[in-house]
Every structure is written in C-alpha cells, then in structure tokens.
Amino acid sequence: MSYLATVSVDIKNGKYGDYENVCAAFEKLGLERAVSGHSREAKVPTTLVAGVFTGTSGAEIRDSLGKACVKVFNDKALKGEIFLAVARIDASDQRGQHGKNHRTAG
C-alpha cells in the first residue's frame, strides 16, 4: 500500500541553515520540499517535507520514519519538535491516517 508522509519540524533556536541541513538529510530518507501532484509540482514551506512510501501499514511507516527523523536531529545535535503524519493514498475505499508528535531532547 502507498502512503503520503508529511513531516513538519520546529528547531529550537533554529536558523535558516539548520532547516536547510535537516531538509537535505530528510531527502535521503525520501522526504522532499517539492511535492508532485497529478499535473504539477508544488514547493512546500521550509519547515515541511513530504514523501510517498510503500509499506504494510501507516503505523509501520510512521514509526520507522519517526525514528529516522529523530536520528537526523540527534546526529546534528539539534533540539526541537517533529510532527509526522501518514495517510494512505491507495485508490481503495479504505482510509487510514496515522500521526505522531516526536519531541527531541531539550
């Protein structure tokens, strides 16, 4: 199944460069600031990234991606908040949404 994951970050005392560095690291996880739609591409705000993932459940993607995002903050010695939401985007009638707020130390 396919899921759209969106991640919003708030870096404690963060500067523009901090957000750019986090976004660059998040790109390696499959999260980008440019999001493609049916007929065009949109650029989301600096504090938001999104990506499409395949998995067995939204909760599985939420949990693994949440851990990876927190690791990025820890590796860069950043403190702040990470909000992660995952929504199923399959064409079926079943819908599932999963969200979780991750707080880094500090």
Q: At 89, which CATH number?
A: 3.30.70
pLDDT tens track for 50-93 = 999 999 999 999 999 999 999 999 999 999 999 999 999 866 54
Confidence at residue 93, expressed as pLDDT on a 0 to 100 scale: 46
| Whole-number percent of the chain with pLDDT over 90 | 67
Please provide the distance, in angstroms rounded to a whole number, between the alpha carbons at the two ends of the chain: 36
Our CA angle for 29, 76, 48, nearest 5°, is 50
Number of domains in the chain: 1
Query: How far apart (Å, rounded) are the C-alpha atoms in residues 96 and 28?
Result: 25
- Which structure tokens are listed for 89? 């985007």
Q: What's the whole-model pTM score? A: 0.78
Q: Is 46 exposed, middle or buried (0-12, 13-18, 19+ CB in 10 A)?
A: middle
Please give the residue range of the domain that contains residue 22: 2-103
Nearest to 5 by CA among 94, 71, 85, 82: 85
